[in-house]
Amino acid sequence: MTDSIAVRALRRDDLAAWQRLWDGYNEFYGRTGATALAPEITRATWSRFFDAYEPVHALVAERNGAVVGLVHYLYHRSTTHLTPVCYLEDLFTLESVRGQGVAGALIEAVYGRAREAGVDSVYWQTHQSNAVAMRLYDKLATRFGFIVYDKVL
């Protein structure tokens, strides 16, 4: 029997647990060493979660009182919707809980928050090499086949 997963809003006293997950997320995507995020980006990201004027939000998943996953999301306008849309920007769980429903619970929680905000679409992207995660994503959303381009300025 698996222990229940509780998803809740990030709190200021979650900083150490969030930082551990955030560091793991960035390491997973190769943002280490020379390509690591600058500390001021991490500090700004953290502070945005608690700024009422920012559209960026964070939830965490807990199991047995320990924070084991995070999700960051934001709302923005779209040229193809009358209501804002929700971009699920970051999703990460501890390796020890993968495949146990934590990521799915976080995604479903974002769906719930988006519905409450009057949003009718949640979207995200992942790296093409993230095949394990895509098996879950394919169950929870529709893959439309768009390719992402990025130009660092």
Look at residue 54 and tell me if it is in a domain: yes
Look at residue 146 and tell me if it is in a domain: no
Cβ atoms within 10 Å of 56's Cβ, excluding its own: 18
Contact 63, 97 (CB under 8 A): yes
Q: From edge to edge, which strands make up the β-sheet containing 5-9?
A: 5-9, 56-63, 66-76, 85-93, 122-123
pLDDT score for 2 = 54
Look at residue 58 and tell me if it is in a domain: yes
Look at residue 65 and tell me if it is in a domain: yes
Q: What is the pLDDT of residues 96-147, one digit of tens each?
A: 999 999 999 999 999 999 999 999 999 999 989 999 999 999 999 999 988 8
- CATH number of residue 82's parent domain: 3.40.630.30
Q: What angle do CA 103, 63, 14 make, to 5 degrees?
A: 90
Q: How many domains does the structure of the chain reveal? A: 1
Look at residue 126 and tell me if it is in a domain: yes
CA dihedral 138, 140, 143, 146 (to 10 degrees): -120
CA pair distance 77, 85, nearest whole angstrom: 6
CA pair distance 63, 152, nearest whole angstrom: 38
- 22, pLDDT greater than 50: yes
Look at residue 150 and tell me if it is in a domain: no
Look at residue 151 and tell me if it is in a domain: no
Whether pTM > 0.85 for this model: the answer is yes
Look at residue 37 and tell me if it is in a domain: yes
Domain containing 87 equals 5-140
Q: What is the pLDDT of residues 33-88, one digit of tens each?
A: 888 889 999 999 999 999 999 999 999 999 999 999 999 999 999 999 999 999 99
Contact 98, 132 (CB under 8 A): yes
- 1, pLDDT greater than 60: no
